[in-house]
Amino acid sequence: MPEHIRHINDTRTVLPVQLKQPNESGVDTVVDLTGLTVKFKMVDQYGTDVIAETDTGVTVSDATNGKCQYDFSSSGVDTAGLYYGYFTVTDAGESDHFPVASRELTILIQADA
């Protein structure tokens, strides 16, 4: 997943992603999100929650193609720094986290120029 860059207090642009996981052959395939619950979480470099896991602001835009997005609130983008985002997909009490590889979804919040 590419790095997502924004400035402090920028809330207009959403964070779009396509969730994938390796299949039996090890090939990344999209996750069908139909009927599943999707949540977002963002942590700092120490693993401390900056945005606690939530479904608020999460929209599934194309379920069969694994596409969803997170719409940041002002409190989630009020401090400059490098952060890591995770989406959690839950079905019948079982969960998977995306990206599968830890710290692959980087979010850089820059101070005003």
Mention every residue, 6+ apart, whose C-beta is less than 8 A from residue 112. 7, 8
**32: Cα within 13 Å, side-chain hemisphere:** 4
* 1: three-class secondary structure by DSSP: coil
* pTM metric for this prediction: 0.90
pLDDT confidence of residue 103: 81
Compute φ and ψ for 24, nearest 5 degrees: -60, -30
Q: Which residues form the domain of 65?
A: 4-110
Please report, for the domain that includes residue 84, its CATH number: 2.60.40.3350
For tokens 């710290």, what's the residue? 103
Mention every residue, 6+ apart, whose C-beta is less than 8 A from residue 106. 1, 3, 4, 82, 83, 84, 85
- Count of structural domains, the chain: 1
Contact (CB, 8 A) for 43 and 113? no
Compute φ and ψ for 22, nearest 5 degrees: -65, 140
pLDDT confidence of residue 35: 96
Structure tokens at 103: 């710290």
- The per-residue pLDDT for range 6-65, each reduced to its tens digit, is 999 999 999 999 999 999 999 999 999 999 999 999 999 999 999 999 999 999 999 999
Structure tokens at 94: 């079982």
